[in-house]
Amino acid sequence: MAGAMTTVAEDNFGVFRTANTSQPVRRFTLSNSAGTEAQVINYGARLTSLKVRGRSGQPVDVVLGEDTYDGYLAATSRFFGCTVGRVANRIAGPPSGTWPGHGAGRDALLRHQVTINADTVLEVDDACLVTGRRLPVADSAFDFRLPRPLGEAMAAAPGGGFDHNFCLERPEDGAVGAAAAVHSADTGIAMEVFTDQPGLQFYTGNFLPADGASGKAGATYSRQGAFCMETQNSAMAGLGDLNMANPVFVTYLFYAAVLGLKTLFMSLFTARHRMGNKVFANPEDAKGLQGKVKFDHPDVERVRRAHLNDLENVLPFLILCPLYLATGPAAATGHHPHQGVPQPSRALCFMVGIGVTVYMCVQILLATM
């Protein structure tokens, strides 16, 4: 919609109900003078419609969807238009689209020209779950490095379709780069995908019903009659891997470094207070620095006790956290904040650290029982 004024309209799309409450589902329509129109509802941030002008100048709706909110509730397994998480992959479903129009069907999809900027693809097992092994795409059904008819590639693909994570070639600095492009010869509509993420999940609607599924405006959605491209972090298998592609492991490394530095600085603070007050724990230091041996100086003991608290918490955390990560935790529960808190709240911070470590121990035991 770049270069054109965008307007936003809002209307009701249905009613969201729970056992005790109900509230309206709102639909937001964004449109511009170029003839592009997108509709999004506040139920899961779903994209329900995206209309763009094709070669004929007429608007074409290029995403699958339902006419009503109740239609989405009845078709929860299809995941039409839903917003996908960073590494959700098999948990959340894809926003699907087909550029000849949402009801054009499989034959039209096979005529698409597809380009994906990837030299490797993640291997999948019989359950279509990634193993973590990278396979080269050269001379295979997965080679989209140059524009290629989708039908030609699908005919050579295992199972006759795609549901695979392509490992993108990205700029060295991690900036946004070109990931993929799709062009419909039927309508002239084209899509380019740009991302700063390392992966792109390419899916060709393999799990739509073989006998078709009813869609919006009376359309019937056939198996492999649509595709989607999800830019994402490493696919789900990576959540159990201890490498830099795992966002939970990266979080662990960050906080491990923070806690390590804090422990080292506490040693320096202890030394500073000992030097400043000329009180030492051994006679050699006291004699050499003209101080005295004293074990109960309040300033020194306060810092030393904080240091011991860190040692009691940090070492178990550093040991247990990699074991916890190997259980494949959800990304949300893997982000545990640790920060310095002044007195009198420091005791609470100590208990939070203990709580995190105990929680990880319990999860490790549950995963291995």
At 235, which amino acid appears?
Answer: A
Residue spans of the chain under pLDDT 50: 1, 88, 90-100, 102, 237, 334-346
Helix (H) or strand (E) holding 222: none
> Are 194 and 296 members of one domain?
no
Strand stretches in 176-324, DSSP E: 177-183, 190-195, 199-203, 213-214, 220-221, 228-232, 279-280, 292-293
Domain presence at residue 193: yes
Give the whole-angstrom CA distance, residue 277 versus residue 266.
16
CATH no. for residue 212? 2.70.98.10
> Are 119 and 170 members of one domain?
yes
> Are 224 and 259 members of one domain?
no
pLDDT, tens digit, 9 for 90 and up, residues 42-52: 988 899 999 99
Domain presence at residue 4: no
> Are 66 and 181 members of one domain?
yes
Domain presence at residue 25: yes
Please give the pLDDT value at position 339.
43
Residue 230 contacts by C-beta under 8 Å, 6 or more apart in sequence?
84, 89, 94, 95, 200, 201, 203
Domain presence at residue 242: no
Quick one: tokens of 56? 């004929």
> Are 34 and 121 members of one domain?
yes
DSSP-assigned states of every residue in 12-36: EEEEEE-SS-EEEEEEEEEEETTS-
> Are 273 and 205 members of one domain?
no
Please give the pLDDT value at position 213.
77
Domain presence at residue 2: no
Domain presence at residue 233: yes
At 24, which amino acid appears?
Answer: P
DSSP-assigned states of every residue in 87-98: S-TTSSPPP-B-
Please give the pLDDT value at position 131.
76
Please give the pLDDT value at position 4.
65
Give the whole-angstrom CA distance, residue 150 versus residue 137.
15
> Are 288 and 188 members of one domain?
no
Please give the pLDDT value at position 340.
44
Residue 3: count of CB within 10 angstroms of its CB = 7
DSSP-assigned states of every residue in 271-286: HHHHHHHTEESSHHHH
The last residue of a domain, from among 237, 270, 299: 237
The last residue of a domain, from among 205, 237, 269: 237
* Phi, psi of 132, deg, nearest 5: 95, -15
> Are 183 and 304 members of one domain?
no
Helix (H) or strand (E) holding 82: none
Please give the pLDDT value at position 221.
81
The domain of 61 spans 11-237
The last residue of a domain, from among 237, 268, 286: 237
At 266, which amino acid appears?
Answer: M
Please give the pLDDT value at position 211.
77
> Are 219 and 267 members of one domain?
no
Domain presence at residue 267: yes
> Are 91 and 174 members of one domain?
yes
Nearest Cα to 14, choosing from 2, 5, 31, 26?
Answer: 26
Split into its structural domains, the chain has a count of 2
> Are 306 and 160 members of one domain?
no
> Are 176 and 82 members of one domain?
yes
Domain presence at residue 6: no
The predicted model scores a pTM of 0.58
CATH no. for residue 270? 1.20.120.550
